[in-house]
Amino acid sequence: MRILHVVHQYPPQHVGGTEVYTRAVAGYQAAAGHAVAVFCPEPGDVRPTPDDETGRLVVHRAGDGARGRTAVFLSTFGGGRLAGSFAAALAETQPDVVHLQHLMGLPLALVEQIKAAGLPYVISLHDYWYGCANAQLLTNDDGRLCRGPDAGHVNCGRCALARAGLGGLTALASAAAPLMARRGRALRRVFAGAAAVLASTEFVRRAYAGMGFPTERVHIWPLGIDAGADELAAARAAQTARPAGEPLRAGYIGGLSPQKGVHHLVAAVQRLPAEAAALSIYGDASAFPDYAAGLRAAATHPGIRFPGRLSRAALWPALGGLDVLVVPTLWYETYSLIAHEAFAAGVPVVASRIGVMAEVVRDGVDGLLFPPADEAALADILLALAEQPERLAALRAGIRPVPTLADHSRRLLGLYESLS
């Protein structure tokens, strides 16, 4: 089978969740003997570049160079060089199916080309971009949670102005609203034309339904983790019983950005006695350096440390050294891969009771939930786990097996075959 994945960014230049997922899935499919290609907007040309040892996975990089936020947004309505490069990639790969991983920064003219070629396409919902230009259902002006466009898209116009650095011109929100409404109509057509739409959780499906998207073809399709049996065995083997009197070993692994709520985790640990808990915060400080610096300044508790960003190879040993992983998110996560990776390593998860986290973590069974941003409640949970090792052991025993990305990729192949 010939498969073409379309994504907004791709490794090694970009290593976010969607990008890493796309590369891993494409790699599994190529290893299974299929001819797999990836198209992404990057400076370069459309000639295929091998991306695996088999030669069955190639990457078509095409773009107009570096672009700012406004240019990326306006790309949705354009065409130009990217559309021409995509036409060349279609002709080169002759796919049986196209999988749209993410279209941010890509013209919707690409979808029209797919339709004109008579090809089925699948959409994966890695975030809320189809309904929210910000992708996260967080407002750009004040960082509040949002349920999606209002009746006139005026709230989206206000958000777009803030994203463009014009947040002080809120009076122009009504003028920007028609463009946002046009975007919404166009993306609903793309959504409705898909042969299948994949949502990683029921919460994501409900969120899109709440924004007025048709959900008849939306399938709940958990992603799975990219780890082999040896890695998981090593992570579990690294776990040792915490000696009596030793601090609880808590950890955070992920982005250091305001919507991740790491500042609330730091504040919660600040409330605890030095002997109660130690906190390792793994994350890249480069995206929001001022925020990361603020975290360090606030972390005067002797048990808080910042080891930096984890490589994939270091992830599993790091998880194996934790008693509990904390996910203090303030936004509507779509899956929380790190929570599933923690479960796979046998580590219970303490998380905000918000969005998908209440679906991922079974409160009192394999983890514990607390109200978002409630530092006192989070501190109480961590202190209880530090003082009650038997409770932590019960949560660990309640963890279910976690699906793997290899299983997920095989399911995808079955879906593709049913469409071609």
What is the average pLDDT across 289-308? 96
What pLDDT is recorded for position 367? 98
Q: Phi and psi dihedrals of 388, rounded to 5?
A: -125, 75
What pLDDT is recorded for position 275? 94
What is the average pLDDT across 386-407? 93
The yes or no reply on domain 2-224+405-419 and CATH 3.40.50.2000 is yes
Q: Classify 229-397 by CATH class.
A: alpha beta
What pLDDT is recorded for position 1? 94
How far the first Cα of the chain sits from its last, in Å, is 9
Per-residue pLDDT band at 64 (split at 50, 70, 90): low
Report pLDDT digits (tens) over 339-356. 999 999 999 999 999 999
What pLDDT is recorded for position 286? 87
Same fold, 2-224+405-419 and 229-397: yes
Sequence length of the chain is 420
What pLDDT is recorded for position 168? 61
Per-residue pLDDT band at 231 (split at 50, 70, 90): confident
What is the average pLDDT across 111-117? 96
* pLDDT > 90? residue 74: no
Q: Given phi > 0 = left and psi -120 to 50 = alpha, else beta, which region is 44?
A: left
For 67, counting Cβ atoms within 10 Å of its Cβ (0-12 exposed, 13-18 middle, 19+ buried), the class is middle
* pLDDT > 60? residue 66: no
What are the residue ranges spanned by the domains of the chain? 2-224+405-419, 229-397
Report pLDDT digits (tens) over 306-315. 999 988 788 8
- Give 313 or 28, the one with higher predicted confidence: 28
Which residues on neighbouring strands pair with residue 62, listed in sequence order?
A: 41
Helix (H) or strand (E) holding 74: helix 69-75
- CA angle in degrees (0–180, nearest 5) for 326-329-335: 90
Contacts of 361 (CB under 8 A, 6+ apart): 327, 339, 349, 350, 351, 367, 368, 369
* pLDDT > 60? residue 358: yes
What pLDDT is recorded for position 170? 66
Report pLDDT digits (tens) over 186-210. 999 999 999 999 999 999 999 999 9
- CA gap 344, 163 in Å, rounded: 37
- CA gap 275, 100 in Å, rounded: 49
Joined together, the tokens standing for residue 214 give: 């048709």
- Give 242 or 126, the one with higher predicted confidence: 126
In this structure, of 38-42, 82-86, 169-173, the range with the lowest mean pLDDT score is 169-173
Query: What is the percent of the chain with per-residue pLDDT over 70, rounded to a whole number?
Result: 95
Q: Are 3 and 94 in contact (CB under 8 A)?
A: no
- CA gap 150, 167 in Å, rounded: 18
What pLDDT is recorded for position 202? 95
Per-residue pLDDT band at 65 (split at 50, 70, 90): low
Joined together, the tokens standing for residue 187 give: 């993306």
What pLDDT is recorded for position 67? 66
* pLDDT > 90? residue 169: no
Among 254, 235, 227, 238, residue whose Cα is nearest residue 402: 227
How would you list the strands of the sheet with 35-41, edge to edge? 49-50, 57-62, 35-41, 2-6, 97-100, 121-125, 196-199, 218-220
* pLDDT > 80? residue 374: yes
